[in-house]
Structures are given as structure tokens and as C-alpha cells.
Structure 1
């Protein structure tokens, strides 16, 4: 995991756990250290914790949201994207931003609101 991904995923992890940090493995392991101190003192352990959390909590994408709401949506076998459905036609993105790279578009992570 590169540094930018680590920082983004740690932020996503922290946001999901709330201000109390209940259930945070960094919080459990840090004992007397604050989170940033633990990350500075034990960077390999911090990265491993965030990597594990990321595996267990993948980001929701346009495609996973669609399939959660419409599980029987037919998908193209080779790409795994919806057949005959463009995300812009469903209002999931602005039509002007359509790049005709559907796999990339459908696998874009939803921004947390």
C-alpha cells in the first residue's frame, strides 16, 4: 500500500469508526500512544492494520450500489458491467463527464456524503 492510499484508507477507516475510535485496531494496540504517534513509531504495523481493514471493508462503487439495489441486473461476462446501461443515463454521473470507458466508470468509488 503506497502512502497516499494508506492516508486515504486510514481516513475512511477513522470516519467509519467515529470519534470514539471504538473497534479501531490502532487504538487497541496503541495503549499509551495517540494514533499518529503509533503510526510514526510502528509504521509497518499501522499499514498492516489499515490494509486488513480495507480488505474487510471495500469501498462501495457505482456497480456495487447498483447490484445491491438491483441484484438481478444482467452483466457482461467479460467486463462485469451492466448490459445496455450507462451510469450517466441513470443519473449517477453527469452526461458531459462520460468517457465511454464503462468499466472504469462503474468501478469508480462513491464519495462518502
Structure 2
């Protein structure tokens, strides 16, 4: 686990109310043990995205046949007013659809 991922996962542990290994100003903590605790917690509590929750309800939803990472084919304009203009059309017509879909469906949820 690289340093950035470690700190992000440790922060996620804290946000979820789990006991977080302290780093503080004491330099005598066991680094390997702290990393191991965070890695184990992270593996046991994978991040969930909007897409994960959607697919739990509709596992046979249409996936983008071109996207290699298994992205839902559903346009965010169907689900979020942030992606629609005042006429109900795409608010960002010059942006590639796959970018908006990835941004929307890969958002982490609680």
C-alpha cells in the first residue's frame, strides 16, 4: 500500500467511526503494525460506488461495451439534475459521455 492510499484509507476508517491507529508525534509506534491494521480494515471494507449499489438492485443493467473497466451505460442525466440543463438535456454536450458517466457512477457512497 503506497503512502497516499494508506492515508486515504486511514482517513476513511476514521470517518466510519472505526478505531484508527494513531500516528501523532510519538515516533516510537510500530510502522509495520499500523500499516497492517489499515490494510486489513481496507480489505474488509471495500469502497462502494453508486454503480455498485445500482448493480445490486439491477445486476443485468446494460454495461458500456467499449469501457474496459465495466462502466454502466446509463447517462447521469436520467438520475441527476446536476447533469441536466434547464431543458432537461445534457448540461455538458461537449464533454465525452464516458467521462460524465465515470464521474457519476464511480462516486463513492456511504
Q: Tell me which residue corresponds to 1:10.
A: 10
Q: Could you list the runs of 5+ residues in structure 2 that have no partner in the other structure?
A: 84-90
Q: CA deviation at 1:107?
A: 5.6
* 2:87 aligned partner: none
Please tell me whether the aligned partners of residues 60 and 110 of structure 1 are also in contact (alpha carbons under 8 angstroms). Answer: yes
Give aligned pairs, total: 98
CA contact under 8 A between 2:72 and 2:105: conserved in structure 1?
A: no
Q: Could you tell me which residue of structure 1 aligns to residue 47 of structure 2?
A: 59
- Determine the structure 2 residue equivalent to 1:89: 78
Query: Is this contact kept in 2: 1:61–1:106, CA < 8 A?
Result: no
Shift in Å, 1:69? 3.0
| Secondary structure at the counterpart of residue 63 of structure 1 | helix
Partner of 1:43: 31
Matches of 1:111 and 1:52, distance apart in 2: 20
Instruction: Pick the structure with greater CA Rg.
Output: 2
Q: Which has the higher helix share?
A: 1
Do the aligned partners of 2:9 and 2:42 also contact (CA within 8 Å) in 1? Answer: yes
Distance 1:59 1:6 in 2: 14
TM-score, normalised by the number of residues in structure 1: 0.60
User: What TM-score, normalized by structure 2, do the two folds share?
Assistant: 0.61
